[in-house]
Each structure stands twice: as structure tokens, then as C-alpha cells.
């Protein structure tokens, strides 16, 4: 007998012509997350992915595998020979491994993939239930609402398990197109990226900074946030764009209280140009309605007016507490709150306009050489592959 990790995917994605592509993507993302832990083998049998590794590594792997989208649940399973004595012994091992079975109710659930196995599923479940009752005191059968279940899958071998760990669910990465995330150094944008990735969008990111007005450490913080996100999103490309010259031009030629709105329109246009060159179908932001001056309905409308590409705002209806809770859950919060100013905070006016009017915005933009400023910023940008 040997212990393995078993990974089950959403049934919706086990059918159709994209099935092999999904499995290949899921396997690649899983392998990426457990590469540093180490494993011996990965294989698929009957739509379940199995990972073979040293026993002491299995519990360490589970939290990393849980970060991959499209997974319904993860189990520690005991693989054994396909005979009654071996299966009984495996049942005993998985119950002992639980260490919480005393005074509990249970149910045996058998799935017979190999139809040549001599006992039907109900017969094997009944036999194993009797064996468990005989060998364990203070446990009872409850087929309706058991405290725990013992699962037995009959395939080329028998796979026996009891503990299930919930996966992220969601859609497989890439099944909902490709997007470009505006990644700041704050709390909101990593959460926005996580939420879009969970819906199947493959993401890369664009980070705007204004070195030397902001520190290199602030830029590095954004890259480290991308590294945290990549546990969920898979490999990620980060376009790092310096807006220092653009901010200078805005400050010299436009009203101070419009700085945030004008700079955000620059960000959108630059993101759109990069998107057109790299086949991104939408821009994703971490904007939450009413949270700051640039996130009023009027401000977001004026900012979005700068581009034709769809702008997706997955956290728009969440309050700050909800965003923080999700940030903690995905592991980005502690990095996000490190005290390094980004370009938005450095150049933010003391009294920003909250209800900008598009006619004034376009009037002020006539004072700027928009095309030249954007092209220079793109020419100087750095591309980091995570």
C-alpha cells in the first residue's frame, strides 16, 4: 500500500474537446506549486489526478494545491491491491489516520469504476461497514448524515480515503480569455486579480511606478505581490511602466486637482496599447465604488472613457473589510500593507476632484503631448516574467 494525493476536478470540465487542454493546464499549475516540495510521480486515472510523494510531504502539498483553480476537492488516499483483505486493511489505516472517529457515525461510499470487480458497490460498502463496526468501538453507521465517510474507488487498483479538503473551485485558467491587471502595491488589485482568475481568466499584470519619486522597494513590493498571485494564476508577465515624466507633464500643464483623473486615463491608454499588442481582451482593476476620489461613479466613468477595451472591476461592490478578508485568505495582505508609497499616493492632490467632467478633462489633455508621453513610457518599460 502507498499514500497518494488525489485531486478531483469540476465535472463540467471533464467533458468536451477542451478536456485534455484543461488537464494539461491544471497539471502544469499544480506542478508549479509543489515543485519546491518535491514529488515522485503524477498520473491521471479516471479523471482524477494522483500525486505520489513521501508521506511527510503530503500534508504540506495540500495548501499549495488548493490554490489552483478548477479543483473541487483534494484527498489523501491509500492505494492498495484490488482484493477484499487489502481494502479492509486500507479502510482501517485511513480511519486510524483520521484520529477523530471516536463516538462518531460513518458511512462507506463505494464507486466501482472497474465493473469487472466481483462485488457491486452496495455489497462492498455493506461488507466494509460491517468490518469497521467489528473493529472499532463507539462508532455507528448513519447512511443519511454521517460524521465522516470512508470512500472506496475501485479502478485498476483500489483507492481508499476519508478526509477531503475543499478546493478553490472556479473555472480552469484560460477558459475565459486573457486580461491585463492594473497591479498597484495595495490591497485591492491582487484580490481583483484572484477573483478574475477564479472565473477562468488568464492574467498578466501592468504596474505603474514613478521612480525616482517612489523607491525601488515600492516597485519590488509589486513584483512580490505578483509572485504571490502566481500561485493562483500560474505564470505571469508583469509590465513595469515608469510614469514620472507623465506626472511631471500633468503637474506643469494641468490643474492640480485633476492629477489623479488625468494620470489614470494615461494608465488606461497605456494598458490598452499593450493589450492590443499582446491579445489581452480586457483591463482588470481593483476599484471599489466610493472608496477614494478616483472611484466615484463620475470618476470611473471619465477614466474608462479613455479606452474602448472592456474594464472589469470584480471588487467594485465589496467594502474594504471584505477585500481585506479575501486578501488575508489568499496570502497577499501582509505584503500589501508594507509602507512603501506607490505613484498614485505620491502625486495625489490634497483636494482631488470627485465629480470630474469629461469636457474639462479633454480640454486639459490638449495641453499634453499624449501620444509622445505614452510611447516613451512604453519604450522604457521593463518586462518581468514571474
At 84-127, the pLDDT tens digits run 999 999 999 999 998 888 999 999 999 999 999 999 999 999 99
Beta bridge partners of 208: 241
Average pLDDT over residues 219-241: 93
Neighbours of 316 (CB within 10 A): 16
**What pLDDT is recorded for position 174?**
77
Q: All 3 cell numbers of residue 183?
A: 497591479
Which has the higher per-residue pLDDT, 272 or 138?
A: 272
As a whole number, mean pLDDT of residues 183-195 equals 95
Percent of the chain with pLDDT over 90: 77
Please state, rounded to an integer, the average pLDDT across all residues of the chain.
92
Q: What is the pLDDT of residue 139?
A: 94
Pairwise CA distance, residues 271 & 176, whole Å: 19
Question: pLDDT confidence of 17, banded at 50, 70, 90?
Answer: low
Q: What pLDDT sits at residue 64?
A: 94
Give dist(CA 237, CA 223) in Å, integer.
Answer: 10
Query: End-to-end distance of the chain based on CA atoms, in angstroms?
Result: 38
Residue 67 dihedral angles phi and psi, to the nearest 5°: -80, -10
Other residues' Cβ atoms within 10 Å of the Cβ of residue 194: 28
The percent of residues in the chain predicted with pLDDT above 70, rounded, is 95
Give me the phi and psi of 314, to 5 degrees please.
-65, -20
Q: Which has more pLDDT, 12 or 330?
A: 330
Question: What is residue 21's predicted lDDT score, i.e. its pLDDT?
Answer: 74
Binning pLDDT at 50, 70 and 90, where does residue 172 land? confident
Instruction: Work out the pLDDT band at 158, boundaries 50, 70, 90.
Output: very high
Report the relative pairing of strands 202-209 and 148-154 from DSSP bridges: unpaired
The answer on pLDDT for 56 being more than 60 is: yes
**So what's the pLDDT on residue 242?**
95
pLDDT, average across residues 217-227: 91
- Supply 368's cell numbers: 499634453
pLDDT at 350 over 80: no
pLDDT at 22: 75
Give residue 123's Cα distance to chain centre. Answer: 41
Residue 90 near residue 158, CB atoms below 8 Å: yes
State yes or no: pLDDT of 11 exceeds 70. no
Mean pLDDT over 266-291 rounds to: 96
Amino acid at each position: 500500500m502507498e499514500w497518494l494525493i488525489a485531486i478531483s476536478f469540476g465535472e463540467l470540465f471533464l467533458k468536451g474537446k477542451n478536456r485534455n487542454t484543461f488537464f494539461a493546464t491544471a497539471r502544469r499549475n499544480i506542478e508549479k506549486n509543489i515543485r519546491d516540495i518535491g514529488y515522485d510521480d503524477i498520473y491521471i486515472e479516471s479523471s482524477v489526478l494522483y500525486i505520489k510523494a513521501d508521506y511527510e510531504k503530503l500534508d504540506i502539498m495540500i495548501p499549495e494545491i488548493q490554490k489552483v483553480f478548477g479543483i473541487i476537492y483534494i484527498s489523501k488516499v491509500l492505494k492498495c491491491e484490488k482484493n477484499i483483505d487489502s481494502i479492509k486493511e486500507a479502510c482501517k489505516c485511513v480511519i486510524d489516520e483520521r484520529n477523530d472517529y471516536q463516538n462518531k457515525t460513518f458511512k462507506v461510499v463505494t464507486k466501482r469504476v472497474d465493473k469487472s470487480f466481483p462485488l457491486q458497490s452496495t455489497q462492498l460498502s455493506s461488507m466494509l461497514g460491517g468490518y469497521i463496526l467489528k473493529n472499532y468501538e463507539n462508532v455507528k453507521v448513519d447512511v443519511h448524515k454521517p460524521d465522516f465517510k470512508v470512500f472506496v474507488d475501485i479502478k485498476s487498483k483500489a483507492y481508499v480515503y476519508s478526509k477531503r479538503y475543499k478546493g478553490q473551485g472556479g473555472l480552469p485558467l484560460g477558459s475565459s480569455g486573457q486580461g491585463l491587471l492594473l497591479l498597484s502595491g495595495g490591497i485591492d488589485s491582487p484580490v481583483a486579480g484572484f477573483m478574475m482568475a477564479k472565473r477562468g481568466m488568464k492574467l498578466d499584470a501592468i504596474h505603474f511606478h514613478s521612480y525616482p519619486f517612489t523607491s525601488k522597494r515600492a516597485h519590488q513590493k509589486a513584483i512580490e505581490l505578483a509572485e504571490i498571485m502566481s500561485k493562483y494564476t500560474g505564470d505571469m508577465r508583469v509590465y513595469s511602466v515608469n510614469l514620472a515624466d507623465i506626472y511631471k507633464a500633468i503637474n506643469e500643464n494641468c490643474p492640480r486637482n485633476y492629477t489623479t483623473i488625468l494620470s489614470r486615463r494615461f494608465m488606461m491608454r497605456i494598458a490598452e496599447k499593450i493589450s492590443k499588442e499582446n491579445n489581452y481582451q480586457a483591463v482588470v482593476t481593483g476599484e471599489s465604488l466610493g472608496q477614494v476620489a478616483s472611484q466615484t461613479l463620475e470618476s470611473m466613468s471619465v477614466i474608462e472613457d479613455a479606452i474602448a477595451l472592456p474594464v472589469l472591476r470584480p471588487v467594485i461592490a465589496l467594502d474594504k473589510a471584505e477585500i481585506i478578508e479575501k486578501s488575508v485568505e489568499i496570502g497577499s495582505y501582509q505584503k500589501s500593507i508594507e509602507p512603501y508609497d506607490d505613484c498614485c499616493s505620491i502625486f495625489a492632490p490634497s483636494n482631488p476632484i470627485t465629480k470630474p467632467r469629461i469636457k474639462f478633462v479633454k480640454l486639459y489633455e490638449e495641453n499634453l503631448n499624449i501620444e509622445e508621453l505614452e510611447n516613451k513610457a512604453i519604450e522604457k518599460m521593463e518586462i518581468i516574467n514571474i
